[in-house]
Amino acid sequence: MPVALAVHGGAGSPPEREYAERQAAVEGALAAGWERIEEGALAAVMAAVRFMEDEPVLNAAVGAVLNREGEVELDAAVMDGSTLRAGAVGAVREARHPVDLARAVMEDGRHVLLVGSGADRFAHQAGVETCLHSVFVTDRQRRNWNERFGADTVGAVAVDAEGRTAVAASTGGVTGKLPGRVGDTPMIGAGFYADDAAGAACGTGQGEGFMRTLLCYRAVAEMLPGLSAQTAAEAAVSYLSDRVKGLGGIILVTPAGEVAAAWNTDFMSWASRTG
Considering only residues 230 through 249, tell me which ones interact with ligand ASP, judged by CB under 6 A: none
Q: Which of 83, 138, 153, 171 is catalytic?
A: 153
Residue 170 gets which letter from DSSP?
E
Shortest spacing between CB 16 and ligand ASP, in angstroms: 18
Binding-site member from 67, 171, 264, 269 for ligand ASP (CB under 6 A): 171
CB 183, CB 211: distance < 8 Å? yes
Shortest spacing between CB 68 and ligand ASP, in angstroms: 14
CB 124, CB 100: distance < 8 Å? no
* Strand, coil or helix: 31: helix
98 near ligand ASP, rule: CB under 6 A: no
Strands 248-253 and 259-263: antiparallel
Give the other-Cβ count within 10 Å of 107's Cβ.
Answer: 11
59 near ligand ASP, rule: CB under 6 A: yes
207 near ligand ASP, rule: CB under 6 A: yes
Query: How far is Cα 192 from Cα 86, in angstroms, rounded to an integer?
Result: 10
204 near ligand ASP, rule: CB under 6 A: yes
Residue 3 or 262 with smaller CB distance to ligand ASP: 262
* Nearest by Cα to 239 from 209, 259, 265: 209
Binding-site member from 153, 170, 213, 272 for ligand ASP (CB under 6 A): 153
67 near ligand ASP, rule: CB under 6 A: no
Query: How far is Cα 194 from Cα 177, in angstroms, rounded to an integer?
Result: 28
- Piece of the chain touching ligand ASP by CB under 6 A; list 77-85, 159-167, 199-207, 237-245: 199-207
Q: In what order do the strands lie in the sheet with 199-205?
A: 192-195, 199-205, 248-253, 259-263
- Piece of the chain touching ligand ASP by CB under 6 A; list 86-94, 97-105, 150-158, 239-247: 150-158
Residue count at the site for ligand ASP (CB under 6 A)? 16
Residue 82 or 204 with smaller CB distance to ligand ASP: 204
Binding-site member from 137, 174, 202, 250 for ligand ASP (CB under 6 A): 174
Binding-site member from 30, 79, 92, 151 for ligand ASP (CB under 6 A): 151
Query: How far is Cα 180 from Cα 162, in angstroms, rounded to an integer?
Result: 39
10 near ligand ASP, rule: CB under 6 A: yes
**Catalytic residue list contains 254:** no
Residue 110 or 147 with smaller CB distance to ligand ASP: 147
* Nearest by Cα to 152 from 259, 29, 275: 29
Shortest spacing between CB 135 and ligand ASP, in angstroms: 20
Shortest spacing between CB 191 and ligand ASP, in angstroms: 6
* Nearest by Cα to 55 from 150, 168, 171: 171
Q: Determine phi and psi for 105, rounding to 5 degrees.
A: -65, -40
Q: Determine phi and psi for 205, rounding to 5 degrees.
A: 140, -160
Query: How far is Cα 142 from Cα 8, in angstroms, rounded to an integer?
Result: 23
Catalytic residues: 153
| Residues at the contact surface with ligand ASP, assessed by CB under 6 A | 10, 59, 151-153, 171, 173-174, 183-185, 191, 204-207
